[in-house]
Structure 1
C-alpha cells in the first residue's frame, strides 16, 4: 500500500478533534480536502474509520487501531527530521523517503532506481528535494559510491521503521475485516531452522492458512541489522550475553548444549573417554567466529595454544558432507543435530560438554507491538520450544 503521509496527518487531526473543520484549520487545508483524505483511507481499507454523528466524527475500532500505528510511525519520522530541518516532517513524502532508503542501502542512484522500478532521474530528484528542504547534503560522494551522512542514516532508519509500523496497520485492519494480508518475517539462526520453526509454522498454518511467512537466513549481524531496521519482525536463535545493543530485547525460551560429532565411520566413534589431544589431531567444522557456539568451541581449543585445522560455516549440509566424506569433526548444537543423529548421519562423541549450555530465544525490537498474527506465531514458537 502506498501511503500518503499528509493524509495520515489529516487523519490523526480528525481523531484528535472529532471535527473536519478543526482538523482542516490545524492542517491548513479546506474542509473538502480533509473529507476527501479520510474517504480515500476508508476506501483503501474497505472499513469505516469514523462514525458520523451530529456531535462530530468519532473513531471506530478500526480507526483506533490505525491511529495507534500512525502515531507511532509519524513520531519516528518527526523525531528524525527535527534536527535536520523544521519543515521537513511536513514536506517529506513517502516516495522521497523510499528513494532515500534505497540510495542509502545501495549507495548508487542507478541501482536504487532499478530496485524501486523507477527512472534514475526520478530517484535523483526525490533525494534532491529532501536535500533542498534540509539545506544540506544528505550524501557524500566517495570512491566507493554515495555515503549517507549521520542525519541521513537516522532519517532512513526512522522511515523504514515507520513503514514497518504502517505495514502492521494494514495487517491489523485486514484482520478486523476477516482477511489475511501482509507477511511475517522471521530471522532464523541455524538451531531454530532445524528444531523450532518447522513445528511452529505447521501449527500456525492450522488457523492462519494464507498469511505469508518469510524466513530470512544469514549471519547474526545481518539479521540483527534487519531487525533493527524493521525488515525483520523477530529473530530466533542463541541469545547474546550481554544484549548486543539497547534497542533490542531478548526473551529466553529454553537452553541447549553443544555436542562434538563425527561421521559414522570416523576412527573416534565408539571410543570411550576421548581426550582433547586426540581430537586436536583431526580437522574441524565449526560455526563462524563471534557466534556463541564458536566462542564455546574456542574455550575447548584455545587458538593461541592449539593449532587446529578449521572450516567455518553455518551450513548443516556442508558439515554433514564433510563428516561423511572425511575425518572432519564437528561442534554443533545438540538440538540442531538431532535429526542427523537420529538418521545416523552424525554420531556424538564421548566427550562431556554439559557446561556449554546457552539460552535460546527470541530477539525483538524494544517497544515493538506485534499484530495478532505475529503474536499467534510467537505463541506457536513458544509451544514448540516448550515441547
Structure 2
C-alpha cells in the first residue's frame, strides 16, 4: 500500500513538472475547459439566484395557504372559454365571514384588496403608494414585520378606523425629519393615523403582492369605504394546519362550504378559483429546470472542444516523452504508473481550467445587478469541478493507455 501511494505521488510530480515545462501550451489547453465550466456554472448560478429571489417573493404571500379568488393563477390546457371566468362573481366579505365561522381545517383567515397609484400627502410631502386593505388575521397568513409602532387592534379592523401601517419608503417620504407614529397624513382626502412602520425589505425582482417598502396597509373596511364606496369584495386567503398535508382537507372544506353559500347545484361547475403559491412555484421550477438543462448543453459543447484540445496535447506529450517513458519502464516502472502520469496531467489541466472558470463566476457575483444577488453555492462549485474531472479523464485515458502500452526497448530508441 505504501508503495502504491509513493507511485501515485511520483505520478503527480511528473505530471506537475510536465505542465510547468510547457506553461504556454498548458494555458492554451485549459481555455476551452475554462469557457465551458464558466458557461455551465454561470448559468446554474444565475438561475439559482433568480429562483431564490422569486421564491422569497412567493413566501411573502404566505406558505401553506389557499387563496379564494375569481381568476385562477394557472389556466388548464382544456377548452374553457375565458368569458366563463369573466362572468364569475368576486369573493364577498360576507362569504369570508361565513367561511371563517365554519371552516374547521383553517388556523387563520384573512381578506384583502389592493388599490394602486394612491397619492399620500403630508403637508408639502407626497408619494405614490400601493394601498392594501386587510382583515385582522392577515399577519398570521404572512409576516408583517413592524419596527416602529404596532400592528392593528382587532377593534380597529372591525370598525374600519382610519389607521395605517406604512412601508419604509412611504414613512421616509412623508415624515423625513420626525417620528411618524401618532401623526396624520392624507389618503384620498381622508385623514389617516400612523400606528406602525414596517421593516425595510428592499426590492425584489418580482413582487407578487406589491413592494412592501412602498405600501400603505389599512383596515379592509376602511379601504372599501375610501376606494370602493362600500362594495365589500376582494381576495380571501386561509392558512391550513401543518397536519393537513397537501391542504386537501382544507380545499375540500372550502369548496363545499362556498358552493353551499352560493347555492350551486351539484351539476354546476365551481364559479371560483382556489389558488396556491406552491402551484406557481412548481411552474417556475419547471421553467428553471429547463434553463439549467439549456445552460448545461451550451456549456458542454465548449467543454467538448476543450476536451479535444487537451486530448491532442496529451498525444503530443506522449510523443515528446516517449524516450523518458522507455527509461522509466526499463527501470521497473509499472504500466499503471506510466498511465497515472498522463491521466493526472490531463485531469490537472481540466481542474485548473474549471477552477479558473469558477473564479470568473465568483467575480461575476460582485457585479451590481440591481435587486438580484448572485450567490455561487458550494454545490455548484463541486458540480463544476466534478464535470471538469470527468472531461479530464475522458480526454486523457486514451493517450495514457497508449503511453502505458509502449515497448520499453522501442521507446528508448525513439531519440
| Range into which the TM-score falls when normalised by the shorter chain | under 0.3
Q: Give TM-score scaled by structure 1 length.
A: 0.25
Q: Give TM-score scaled by structure 2 length.
A: 0.24
Higher helix share: 2
Q: Tell me: higher relative CO, structure 1 or 2? Use CA pairs within 8 A at least 6 residues apart.
A: 2
